[in-house]
Amino acid sequence: MLMICLLASQSSLAFNDSLTLQTADNLIAHLQRQDNIVARLQYLETYKQFLFERLNTIEIPDLATTPDDHPALEEYRSLTEYDNYVNLIRMKDINASTCQRTKVRIENSTSRDGGLVPEAVEAMKILNALCSPTTN
């Protein structure tokens, strides 16, 4: 949890979970400052674990009685979709080839014709920070 707290910019996802948004921003900032590839990949894995735990702690409305367009249900779906895109970022090394393959994997997984869904765009921000040279 300490690494998550250490893991700053403002993102705009389709969901409004401020803890998840702030943690994603912190992750991106840390990735941009870290030149050690192993540490960068560890930050990413820690963030994935945070998302997993976050999804398991968010209360969702009763599916039997809640309308499909209920804001809490929409937010949960959006967060789940974002988690799915972030989990497509699977690397053992960071290089041009793995970054490009991962980018294509995310692009091919999006469900919107002619562009990426907002959750995929946010996952791409993490990928770009992971794949970009550091800006120490």
Over the stretch 90-102, which tens digit does the pLDDT of each residue have? 988 999 999 999 9
CA distance 40 to 132: 11
pLDDT over 80 (residue 10) = no
pLDDT band at 63 (very low <50, low <70, confident <90, very high): confident
Over the stretch 107-122, which tens digit does the pLDDT of each residue have? 998 866 767 888 899 9
pLDDT over 90 (residue 85) = yes
Helices 37-57, 18-33: inter-axial angle, 10-degree rounding: 180
Average pLDDT score over the chain = 83
Domain definitions of the chain by residue range: 16-131
